[in-house]
Amino acid sequence: MTGDMSDLKPTAPIIQVRNLHKSFTLHTQGGIKLDVLSSTDLSVAPGDCVALMGPSGAGKSTVLRCLYGNYLPQSGAVLIRHKGRMTNLVGAEPRVVLALRRETLGYVSQFLRVIPRIASIDLVSEPLITLGVEPEAAREKAATLLTRLRIPTRHWDLAPATFSGGEQQRINIARTMVVDYPALLLDEPTASLDADNRQTVIELILEARDRGAAVVGIFHDEEVRDAVCTHRHHVAAPDGNRDAPDTVDSEDRQDLAI
Amino acid sequence: MTQTDRTRAHMSQAGTPASELPLLRVTELAKSYGGLPACRDVSFDLWPGEILAVVGESGSGKTTLLKCISALLSCDTGQIEYLMRDGVMRDIHALSEAERRFLMRTDWGFVHQNPREGLRMRVSAGANIAERMIAVGARNYGKIRGAAENWMDRVELDSARLDHQPNTFSGGMQQRLQIARNLVTHPRLVFMDEPTGGLDVSVQARLLDLLRSLVTKLQLSAVLVTHDLAVARLLSHRIMVMQGGEVVETGLTDQVLDDPQHPYSQMLVSSILPV
């Protein structure tokens, strides 16, 4: 799963995607097979931000979800630099994926999956506390982010379930940006934000790039995209009629792992 | 512990640091009732700090599996190894009855769906919590009472009701008392069988919050049997989907729920009613 990468240069990629294939077989709907990604390759160096481009339904979110281990690709490799080694998420044990998510890989989903009845500030400081940061220090950093993202202080101790869409999205962003993850995946982070908050999110992404984070994102907003991204990657849905590659058995998956 | 001890205890684990061993290892477990298989060929590792949810419909073998791995039931074939506090993996069915009992009331907890199964209904709430403490050697009345009061608080029960019998508690309160009784000895592994099963939704929600914060704070590992995928999503890191006594899919909780592979998992996920 991991190789000896002690010779990794500081400029070596943090995220590498090789020949990624993803299809969905809908067993509850007559076994229809949908090919969503075929042969996706991607490489993201420290400080780079790759914008995934393509029309709705092209599979941009699917790429991000495969990169986060949320979707299970049929074949290919998703390599993430974790503690100095390139680790393949495809076929990795759950506890490896969990460790990677805890320490290396941050993901801002399109919508906040609300954990009911937990105060916003606790929700935002939680990832730091999980990493062993003292609760007081974690709360302080969470407070800084909530302030920057203009969440009124009186909302900090409330659960975000009743917040507006934009406010929930900012909590979501804060919960990820509170940790200085080396790799960031952003699924339309500014979709429901006003101009001021959009600007704050642009600053947060640029700060992450400055400290050397590798970023992959979907940005529908051109202004945001132009401000943050260094590269563009076009995602194209495979031709629906083309035969997709057969599923690769676990032995082949091992071969793809380095 | 010396290397010799470790080798004697378990040849294959000689020299393996405890941090690289799972807390619980189940290998090819099978159990049948009078020729009817309830569990077949179940294997998995549970790592420290991990919450594993076992999901599936009624009759899929979830509860049988839970009872086998927690030594409440014997299994027909297979091995269940547990990482003892001294860092050695031991087969729990090879332990002496005394050793197993000690494990069950110190290092393990078992939260039953029906709190009446896990509580003594005719003794006070405080005595229910104290029982496990006394079992591990606590003798000072003041300290035991103090700890019981503290645990009443932690599970959000009014400590003024310490001397009341659980008979006089509501279902949700009984369930919280059962949790306190289990956690007072700081177990490392908790087995939970539909812990929110018989409760109405608002009580269920409060109990889930409590469980979520307790497992995080105490760094518990747990095997959680539930048919409720929302409970699994909220509490677990990993999911194992069972159908007809067999594991049909296993993986990260969000991956199994967002991209289920097996027809049966897809059916379960697609059967959730949106609110």
Contacts of A242 by beta carbon, 8 Å cutoff, 6+ apart = A35, A38
Same domain, B100 and B54: yes
Same domain, B30 and B49: yes
pLDDT computed for residue B204 by the predictor: 81
Taking an 8 Å cut-off on Cβ atoms, the answer to whether A28 and B263 are in contact is: yes
Q: What percent of chain B has pLDDT over 90?
A: 64
DSSP per-residue letters across chain B = --HHHHHHH-GGGTT--GGGS-SEEEEEEEEEETTEEEEEEEEEEE-TT-EEEEE--TTSSHHHHHHHHTTSS--SEEEEEEE-TTS-EEEGGGS-HHHHHHHHHHTEEEE-SSHHHHS-TTS-HHHHHHHHHHHTT---HHHHHHHHHHHHHHTT--GGGTTS-GGGS-HHHHHHHHHHHHHTT--SEEEEESTTTTS-HHHHHHHHHHHHHHHHHTT-EEEEE-S-HHHHHHH-SEEEEEETTEEEEEEEHHHHHHS--SHHHHHHHHTPPP-
Q: Average pLDDT of chain B?
A: 88
Same domain, B191 and B275: yes
Q: Which residue has the tokens 């700090």?
A: B49
Same domain, B95 and B202: yes
Chain A residue at shortest CA distance from B240: A94
B7-16, B220-229, B237-246, B261-270: which has the minimum mean pLDDT?
Answer: B7-16
Same domain, B63 and B103: yes
The whole domain housing B63 covers 21-107+187-275
pLDDT computed for residue B18 by the predictor: 59
Same domain, B67 and B195: yes
Q: Quick: pLDDT tens for B12-57.
A: 444 456 568 999 999 999 999 988 889 999 999 999 989 999 999 8
Question: In chain A, which ranges are E strands?
Answer: 15-26, 32-44, 49-53, 75-82, 85-88, 105-108, 183-187, 214-218, 231-234
Whether B11 shows a pLDDT value over 60: the answer reads: no
Taking an 8 Å cut-off on Cβ atoms, the answer to whether A95 and B261 are in contact is: no
In this predicted model, which residue has the larger pLDDT, B13 or B108?
B108
pLDDT computed for residue A7 by the predictor: 54
Taking an 8 Å cut-off on Cβ atoms, the answer to whether B259 and A115 are in contact is: no
Same domain, B178 and B194: no
pLDDT computed for residue A192 by the predictor: 86
Residue B162: CB atoms within 10 Å: 19
**ipTM, 2 dp:** 0.86
**Model confidence band, residue B166 (pLDDT cutoffs 50, 70, 90):** very high
Taking an 8 Å cut-off on Cβ atoms, the answer to whether A94 and B237 are in contact is: yes
List residues in chain A touching B: CB distance below 8 A.
24-28, 65, 69-72, 94-95, 97-98, 115-118, 130
Average pLDDT per block of 10 residues along chain A, 258 residues long? 56 94 92 89 96 91 95 95 94 94 95 79 94 95 97 95 90 96 96 94 98 96 95 80 37 35
Determine which of B203, B255, B258 to mutate to test the interface with A (most A C-beta atoms within 10 Å): B255
Same domain, B161 and B238: no
Q: Does B230 touch chain A (CB under 8 A)?
A: no
Contact B111, B179 (CB under 8 A): yes
Q: Quick: pLDDT tens for B135-157.
A: 888 889 999 999 999 999 988 89
Taking an 8 Å cut-off on Cβ atoms, the answer to whether A71 and B263 are in contact is: no
Question: Distance between the two ends of chain A, CA-based, in angstroms?
Answer: 6
